[in-house]
């Protein structure tokens, strides 16, 4: 199992970049950089490529609507080049509030858009001619086809790798099925290892049946908050409040993918209650209504023995990469939590 850390889009990047070097020396396998309606992740990843030498760098995630598929391919190839072949492309659709409200771009047909984006990226990295056929996005066309704009173009530079790993953030069953079919990695959220099969097992199985064997096994990449210590109650409470936001406030009734996930986990009554309270403005009560089991199962917060137990549960459920967000208030504390988690990893 790979273990890494994530840099949140709201963090002070100057300090975080210094810490990244410490995490690399401590054996981090992956550094993930997130992006929302924030400073972009690409410039930060380029900076990290220059100050690191061994750690894998990952976007977690780049929204597919704010960049064209060809630009995403160019960006990934560029980051892979400056990092010496250490980049992994994490993609996701984000949501209408960010895509339409912030970027001013229609949020349409996310499954088709994701599939075409992955196909186009892989074609660009292979330096195949690329053309558009009149739709917004399309799969690559053979040379001589297209819109009459001239000869299809291919990437000028030669990428370090002709195949860069692509991971997709997906929660809904159809999206997870497509991810298991076409992606190198899957980025689930609010991952409960003991209940993951109930939520996604059928989708993963259906996607795997269509998967090209050349892609190899699906890398299951899970992000969790991390704090190792005997005084984790305050960290758990902050995480509980964040979960209330996702279950209760990320979308209206009937249009909240995170709430739907909690239902598939088996928390239908609790999920409805959290949403009811949160939308009524009772945020503290909503946080109190978040199931205790879900808070504990989807985090790496607690004593060393508890974190070790959770890492073993993640591995048993099929997780292959853990990208943790250290919560300790000091740089030394964050590094100590990472080192403790690394020592607690299950034996290969």
Per-residue confidence at 149, pLDDT binned at 50, 70, 90? Answer: low
Per-residue confidence at 154, pLDDT binned at 50, 70, 90? Answer: very high
Q: How open is the CA angle 85-167-141, to the nearest 5 degrees?
A: 85
Rounded Cα–Cα distance for residues 190 and 297 (Å): 9
- Compute CA 22 distance to the chain's CA centroid, rounded to the nearest angstrom: 23
**Is residue 207 a contact partner of residue 180, using CB atoms and an 8 Å limit?**
yes
What pLDDT was estimated at residue 96? 83
CA quadruple 97, 103, 109, 113: dihedral positive or negative?
Answer: negative
Burial-class residue 14 by CB neighbours within 10 Å (0-12, 13-18, 19+).
exposed
**Is residue 183 a contact partner of residue 118, using CB atoms and an 8 Å limit?**
yes
Rounded Cα–Cα distance for residues 45 and 75 (Å): 11
- Confidence check: pLDDT of 253 > 90: no
What pLDDT was estimated at residue 199? 97
Per-residue confidence at 59, pLDDT binned at 50, 70, 90? Answer: very high
Cβ atoms within 10 Å, residue 186? 25
What pLDDT was estimated at residue 150? 59
Structure tokens, 46: 């380029």
CA quadruple 84, 86, 92, 96: dihedral positive or negative?
Answer: negative
Per-residue confidence at 143, pLDDT binned at 50, 70, 90? Answer: very low
**Is residue 307 a contact partner of residue 281, using CB atoms and an 8 Å limit?**
no
Using one digit for the tens of pLDDT, what is the confidence trace for 13-45? 999 999 999 999 999 999 999 998 889 999 999
Domains and CATH numbers, the chain: 2-225+303-343 (3.20.20.30), 230-302 (no CATH)
Q: Mean pLDDT of all residues in the chain?
A: 93
Q: Give the pLDDT mean for 138-164.
A: 70
Structure tokens, 341: 């988690």
Out of 1-10, 123-132, 144-153, 293-302, which region has the weakest mean confidence (pLDDT)? 144-153
**Is residue 2 a contact partner of residue 23, using CB atoms and an 8 Å limit?**
no
- Confidence check: pLDDT of 142 > 50: no
pTM greater than the 0.75 cutoff: yes
- Confidence check: pLDDT of 228 > 50: yes
Listed in order, strand segments (DSSP E) in 229-310 are: 300-302
- Confidence check: pLDDT of 79 > 80: yes
**Is residue 93 a contact partner of residue 65, using CB atoms and an 8 Å limit?**
yes
Classify 254 as helix, strand or coil: coil
- Confidence check: pLDDT of 135 > 70: no
Q: What is the DSSP string of 142-181?
A: -TT-SSSSSSPB--SS--S-S---EEEE--SHHHHHHHHH
Per-residue confidence at 252, pLDDT binned at 50, 70, 90? Answer: confident
Q: What percent of the chain has pLDDT over 90?
A: 85
- Confidence check: pLDDT of 257 > 80: yes
Rounded Cα–Cα distance for residues 59 and 110 (Å): 19
- How many C-alpha atoms does 324 have within 13 Å on its Cβ side? 31
What pLDDT was estimated at residue 152? 84
- Which of 305, 306, 282 has the alpha carbon at shortest distance from 295? 306
Count of all residues that appear for the chain in the document: 348
């Amino acid at each position: 199992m790979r273990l890494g850390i994530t840099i949140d889009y709201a963090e002070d990047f100057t300090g975080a970049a210094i810490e990244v070097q410490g995490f690399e020396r401590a054996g981090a396998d992956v550094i993930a950089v997130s992006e929302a309606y924030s400073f972009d992740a690409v410039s930060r990843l380029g900076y990290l490529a220059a100050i690191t030498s061994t750690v894998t760098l990952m976007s977690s995630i780049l929204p597919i609507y704010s960049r064209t598929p060809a630009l995403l391919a160019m960006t990934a190839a560029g980051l892979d080049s400056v990092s010496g072949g250490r980049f992994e492309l994490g993609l996701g659709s984000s949501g209408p509030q960010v895509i339409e409200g912030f970027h001013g771009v229609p949020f349409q047909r996310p499954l088709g858009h994701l599939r075409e984006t992955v196909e186009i990226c892989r074609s660009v990295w292979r330096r195949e001619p690329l053309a558009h056929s009149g739709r917004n996005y399309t799969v690559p066309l053979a040379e001589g086809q297209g819109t009459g704009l001239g000869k299809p173009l291919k990437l000028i530079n030669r990428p370090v790798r002709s195949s860069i790993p692509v991971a997709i953030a997906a929660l809904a069953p159809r999206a997870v099925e497509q991810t298991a079919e076409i992606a190198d990695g899957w980025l689930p959220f609010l991952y409960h290892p003991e209940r993951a099969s109930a939520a996604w097992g059928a989708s993963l199985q259906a996607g795997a049946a269509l998967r090209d064997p050349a892609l190899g096994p699906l890398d299951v990449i899970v992000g969790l908050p991390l704090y190792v210590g005997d005084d984790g109650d305050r960290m758990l409470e902050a995480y509980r409040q964040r979960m209330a936001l996702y279950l209760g406030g990320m979308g209206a009734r009937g249009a909240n993918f995170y709430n739907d996930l909690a239902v598939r986990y088996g928390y239908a009554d609790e999920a409805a209650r959290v949403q009811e309270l949160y939308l009524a403005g009772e945020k503290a009560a909503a946080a109190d209504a978040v199931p205790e089991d879900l808070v504990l199962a989807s985090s790496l917060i607690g004593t060393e023995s508890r974190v070790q137990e959770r890492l073993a549960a993640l591995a048993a459920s099929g997780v292959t990469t853990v990208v943790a967000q250290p919560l300790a208030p000091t740089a030394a504390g964050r590094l100590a939590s990472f080192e403790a988690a690394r020592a607690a990893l299950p034996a290969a």
